A and B are shown apart, each in its own frame.
Chain A
Amino acid sequence: MRKPFAITLDPGSSLANHTGSWRTLRPVYVDRLPPCNHACPAGENIQAWLFHAESGNYEAAWRLLTEDNPLPAVMGRVCYHPCESACNRAQIDAAVGINSVERFLGDYAIEKGWTFDQPAAPSGKRVLVVGAGPSGLSAAYHLTRLGHAVSIHEAGPVAGGMMRFGIPKYRLPRDVLEAEVRRILDLGVELKLNTKVDRILETMRAGAFDAAFLAVGAHIGKRTTIPAGATARILDAVSVLHSMEGEDKPLLGRRVVVYGGGNTAIDMARTAKRLGATDAIIVYRRTREKMPAHDFEVEEALQEGVMIKWLSTIKQAGEGALVVEKMRLDETGFPQPTGELETLEADSLVLALGQDVDLSLLENVPGLEVDGGVVKVGPNMMTGHAGIFAGGDMVPSERTVTVAVGHGKKAARHIDAWLRGAAYAKPPAHALAAFDKLNTWYYSDAPKTVLPVLDAVRRQSTFDEVQGGLDESSAQFEARRCLSCGNCFECDNCYGMCPDNAVIKRGPGQRFEFNYDYCKGCGVCAAECPCGAIEMVPEEI
């Protein structure tokens, strides 16, 4: 063909020029572990379920959430949300209100009547769960979903454990708890109430169980020797909180002193206030900084008029009055007596000094070891006796509902593997998505949505729930504050900002891929990725 003057070649496209050969660094899409997921004792995939909540797909969010935790409405109320303490957004404005979104999803699911997916094909194995507290319910739920037949034996008259008999109503309304327990039972879990297991091995043999998960909790209030007159009224917090569930409310009098500094002490004092006490005083031997109770609970208690005497111990209890000794902290931070005494008027003294485990069912179980009042378990939650696993408050750990739910899930996975004659191998975790991996320029300012709180007068006199929930729009707003740390959320920055058009957009939900034929390895995509989901790795030459 004749070409114009001075033209010898046909026009071509620059696509013939594979600029990828220039590259010394190669961008790679990665997933990193968000700090919230990393911090969650129940192992929730928080970032992933927030992703669905952001787009208003609450059912998908709830289903993903309940893959790890079957009690979102409960946990959305009582969890101390270590996820929020770890949240990267706290370093920008305030942590994402993960807990309140979880609560919204839990409540929304109850309102909509969503039920769990039916379990896998039956395995033919039977597992006994002892105790219907958070840990036992969680284990039963996960085991059932894995196809095993589960029977829960509960000593009490109703399911819930400490969620029912420890946590006051103003923090966890009973209808919420009941709805979530019922949903687990509807999955086909057998629940036997008023069935105390006395000898675990015998019960297992009688019921032909292949494995057992023990989760009896810690229900025995610790005592301490306080010299007391015959008429002094001394109670323990576990029993008092337990009796709140019965017909006869405990009689505490007008001036109630609570001894201890944990969350139970706070619950006890706030309950006393609601029962009509004019004075509810917590006596604690150290300072506020050293108090094991969570800060926001202390704050709410103080708002409700609970008083706290710091650096004090109770020397003696008599009728209508206590003798309190002042303490001071020594160099090691340990409280030492000062000899300074004072008298405190009190109609009753309630001890909240921690709880012990009732280990009577474990007598004569070969191999099983008890250490410091709790049952020793291996990394797979199995006790020294093959086939008997344990979790929750009766094993060494932090005693919270969240930890218990996490134990239940973990134990279920190991029990499932053990029943199949295998060992459960945890998939390797991604590297942590630390704050320095983020490009925070791209996140617009959005302050945290504050939950509505019941006013103080009603809090002092009724057991109405103190914290309200979020409505749909504010829950969605809160979810959208998530930075999606370490996980691509399809913001299109890499696709849009590649000077070489070397990023391929695969479509909604499909993320992106690099076209290494043309990628020159400049690194703009990695530098401008808001959530740190691109890593530059050296090319191998």
Chain B
Amino acid sequence: MSYQPVKFYQTGTFTVGNRLLPPDVRSVQSTQRRTNSLNSGHRACQGCGEALGARYAMDAAMEATDRQLIAANATGCLEVFSTPYPETSWQIPWIHSVFGNTAAVATGIAAALKVKGRSEVRVVAQGGDGGTTDIGFGCLSGMFERNDDVLFICYDNEAYMNTGVQRSSATPGAARTATTMAVGEAPGNVFGQGKNVPAIAMAHEIPYVATATVAELHDLEAKVKTAMGIRGARYIHILVPCPLGWGHASQDTIRIARLAKETGLFPVFEAAYGEVTSVSRIRRRQPVEAYLRPQKRFAHLFGDPPNSAVIAQLQALADRNIRRYGLLEPQEAA
């Protein structure tokens, strides 16, 4: 189990903090002593999910390792908006790799620390979906295969946003990007292609694989903490909505991430050595339309008449996730 939500309080553990909860159950983000690994002044767009996800994950990792942490960062939005020369937003030891080799760079750091006998210093590699599922995939697979002592975190915003929203292998079917325009017989991205990297990571049978969203902070922090308690190759895949690329209002970042999970389109789970060990269940199930409609990248599905065949196809994917991962609460025995 990732974490046990506290119920029957004013807001339980759904909010970031809660003055009524004992301090040890509160989130890292609710404390004044959080690292603020990614500090103010960065150049991410308004409402950036990735900036939020990176701070959540890195602050949690810093807390879990007693601030003994080095991060390697792939090229991508996160690197571009946080470190325009000569400024940096990072308040942690941080190194920029090229687009494709973050996993290898992190492996190198871990090896160097081992040689130096600095086993208390931990290593995290992070990148976007482009640097993870496409360009950095070879190095990532090698890191998994060797079981190097690195936590790799992918912030998945489902396309190359920094360079102008081009399709990646994490872009969902039907989504409009600059390279999958909403034109022709099958508008938007094609179905049936792309990669499910959490499943691929599980296939490497590494000690720990998890998915999370920026809408479930307690869950995300618990997963980072769990990962930092394990030695060997670990992988966390965090869904981070992108107001620019997805075409939703900047204030809806959290809501969209929540809907991705509540519709079943993005299953939130954790796995050990290739087996799913826990899932975060759907609390208030919604049809996929609730998730698709606020996003302009899916606007072509809701013309007059709406493209109900494609909407049904996406609903079928959500239903398959719900079945495959058991995302609904089991019916209580009457």
Find chain B residues with CB under 8 A from A493 CB.
15-17
- Identify which of A489, A502, A505, A526 contacts B10 (C-beta below 8 A): A489
A536 CA to B47 CA in the complex, in Å?
Answer: 14
Q: A492 and B9 in contact (CB under 8 A), knowing A499-B52, A526-B251, A527-B251?
A: no
* Stretch binding the partner chain, chosen from A120-128, A267-275, A436-444: A436-444
Residue B252 is within 8 A (CB to CB) of chain A in the complex: yes
Q: A446 and B254 in contact (CB under 8 A), knowing A491-B18, A495-B29?
A: no
Q: A522 and B16 in contact (CB under 8 A), knowing A14-B87, A18-B41, A441-B258?
A: no
Q: Are A441 and B41 in contact (CB under 8 A)?
A: no
Residues A32-81 near B (CB distance < 8 A): 54-55
A13 CA to B90 CA in the complex, in Å?
Answer: 8
- Identify which of B7, B10, B55, B82 contacts A14 (C-beta below 8 A): B82
Nearest chain B CB to A447 CB, angstrom units: 9
Q: Are B39 and A443 in contact (CB under 8 A)?
A: no
Q: Are B32 and A522 in contact (CB under 8 A)?
A: no
* Stretch binding the partner chain, chosen from A4-12, A198-206, A398-406: A4-12
* Stretch binding the partner chain, chosen from A109-117, A383-391, A480-488: A480-488
Q: Are B36 and A12 in contact (CB under 8 A)?
A: no
Q: Are A499 and B49 in contact (CB under 8 A)?
A: yes
Find chain A residues with CB under 8 A from B243 CB.
522
Tell me whether chain B's interface is mostly helix, strand or loop, or mixed: loop
Tally of chain B residues near chain A (CB < 8 A) = 50
Q: Are B47 and A9 in contact (CB under 8 A)?
A: no
Q: Are B51 and A530 in contact (CB under 8 A)?
A: no
Residue A424 is within 8 A (CB to CB) of chain B in the complex: no
Residues B234-251 near A (CB distance < 8 A): 243, 249-251
Nearest chain B CB to A473 CB, angstrom units: 11
Q: Are A499 and B47 in contact (CB under 8 A)?
A: yes
Find chain B residues with CB under 8 A from A55 CB.
19-20
Residue A363 is within 8 A (CB to CB) of chain B in the complex: no
A12 CA to B82 CA in the complex, in Å?
Answer: 12
* Stretch binding the partner chain, chosen from A159-167, A321-329, A513-521: A513-521
A480 to B, closest residue via Cβ: B10
A509 to B, closest residue via Cβ: B19
Residue A279 is within 8 A (CB to CB) of chain B in the complex: no
Residue B141 is within 8 A (CB to CB) of chain A in the complex: no
Residue A330 is within 8 A (CB to CB) of chain B in the complex: no
A514 CA to B274 CA in the complex, in Å?
Answer: 44
Q: Are A502 and B8 in contact (CB under 8 A)?
A: no
Q: A444 and B41 in contact (CB under 8 A), knowing A524-B250, A524-B254?
A: no
Find chain B residues with CB under 8 A from A541 CB.
none
Residue B278 is within 8 A (CB to CB) of chain A in the complex: no
Find chain B residues with CB under 8 A from A477 CB.
8
- Identify which of B49, B88, B217, B254 contacts A13 (C-beta below 8 A): B88
Find chain A residues with CB under 8 A from B29 CB.
492, 495-496
Q: Are B17 and A491 in contact (CB under 8 A)?
A: yes
Q: Are B19 and A508 in contact (CB under 8 A)?
A: yes
5 additional contacts (CB under 8 A) given A444-B14, A495-B30 = A11-B88, A12-B88, A444-B12, A496-B16, A522-B47
